[in-house]
Amino acid sequence: MAGTDDALLAAFAAGSRARLAGIARDKALLLSGEADAGSVGRLLRAVHCIAESAAFLGLDSLRDLGRGLRQALCAVRDGRVGPDREAAGPLARGFDILAAALQALPEAWQGDMAEAAGRLTGLLDTPDRAAAGQFVAVACGQGLDPFSVDALRLAEALGRGNRLYCLTFDLLADIQRQGRTPLDVLAALAESGLILDCRLGFEAAGDLAAGPGRSLPLAVLYATIIDAEIAGLLFGLAQDRIRPVEGTELLCACDEGVAAEQSGSADCGGAGCACADCAGYAVEQGEGRAVLRLTERETVERMAGLKTALLACFAGAQEILLDASALREADITFFQLVSAAGKTAQAQGKSFGLLGPLAPEVRARLLLLGISPPRELEREEG
């Protein structure tokens, strides 16, 4: 909490307590197994706003507990976790500890928020737990350091038809001079979408030699169904402050909770790689052709590895093929990466396509997104 503005912290505590009070009835319905979609939605919005405001203020334990509650609520909403007695215990404890920690502010609460967050994560199924422990770096642009977001929240955001944006507010011109606080901005954003990461861009503040910068950016990685033009009007931002984020800008994934840009992989020999396993993907290579075998599930948490493997294949082969025979689930980041690979092949005068046929569920997802299927080839027998 060191360095946090006292007035801002007090406003956060008061606002968050009011939000919890406002969802008391919805929480009771949830814990009794009687909550409908409206109740769960209100719980999600309140917890999301508290968690991301805590993230902005550097209250990491509160942030993690709030995000754990939100992930568990998403699982209830989507039917992956039933609102039964087994789930009610961790959910009730999570809400109780969140309320106690907020009541203790500005002092640090002495209880174990990490234990409560861990129990909430334990409600998730194994793939979701793994994704929650992987972190993806997303390019921010404008000379700012990349965002860092766990793969589970990123997959949820991209899988619900949302657009992904980097919003850049000027803390002085867009917020303070308009009589707003960063918490006001985050609360407004939380009502209309999903805040994945937010932070102040102190690296843009200049130095003593060059002089201080004229602005201090508040950068927000944001997912919403709203298009950029409407978002600008809704949040008071010029269009040049709203940058769409493409799937190819998801830089990397790692298991240690700190996302850092990768230029290769421990399993990959780099340019011209002829190894049997490249960034976790089986690759058959010979006579100018590289066949990369896709897994059953190609979603956001695997895209960094797939990008690394594809780059190695492009460096060592003239014809690059993706064997999609095992593929059963893919999200928009996979199709964006495939599209980028097709453009790379065209620019380099190489051949790129899929070994098909595509599974019906994958083809249906592709058509739903309005994407034309890449070139499909039948695997040669023998």
Domain boundaries, the chain: 1-127, 133-261, 277-378
| pLDDT score recorded for residue 147 | 83
Topology (CATH) of 1-127:
Four Helix Bundle (Hemerythrin (Met), subunit A) (1.20.120)
| pLDDT score recorded for residue 266 | 36
User: Does residue 26 or residue 155 have the better pLDDT?
Assistant: 26
List Cβ neighbours of 364 (8 Å cut-off, separation of 6 or more): none
Long-range contacts of 154-160 (CB under 8 A, 24+ apart): 154/196, 154/250, 154/300, 154/301, 155/131, 155/299, 155/300, 155/301, 155/331, 156/74, 156/194, 157/194, 157/196, 157/223, 158/223, 158/247, 158/300, 158/331, 158/332, 158/333, 159/299, 159/331, 159/332, 160/225
Alpha helix ranges (H) inside 124-264: 126-132, 151-158, 182-192, 228-235
| pLDDT score recorded for residue 319 | 92
pLDDT tens sequence across 312-367: 888 888 999 998 888 988 876 777 778 778 888 888 899 888 887 778 877 776 65
| pLDDT score recorded for residue 254 | 38
What are the CA-CA distances from residue 278 to residues 136, 293, 314, 317 (Å)? 19, 10, 13, 14
Pairing of strands 194-200, 319-323: unpaired
Closest CA to 70 of 113, 110, 121: 121
pTM score = 0.63
List Cβ neighbours of 184 (8 Å cut-off, separation of 6 or more): 175
The two tokens of residue 13 are 């505590």
Instruction: Name the band, by pLDDT with cuts 50, 70 and 90, for residue 374.
Output: low
Listed range (253-257, 279-283, 305-309) with the worst mean pLDDT: 253-257
The two tokens of residue 111 are 């209880």
Q: What is the mean pLDDT of the chain?
A: 77
- One CATH from 3.30.750.24, 3.30.565.10, 3.40.710.10, 3.30.70.240 for 277-378: 3.30.750.24
What are the CA-CA distances from residue 112 to residues 13, 64, 71, 96, 98 (Å)? 19, 12, 19, 12, 11
Given a cut of 90, whether residue 50 has pLDDT beyond it is yes
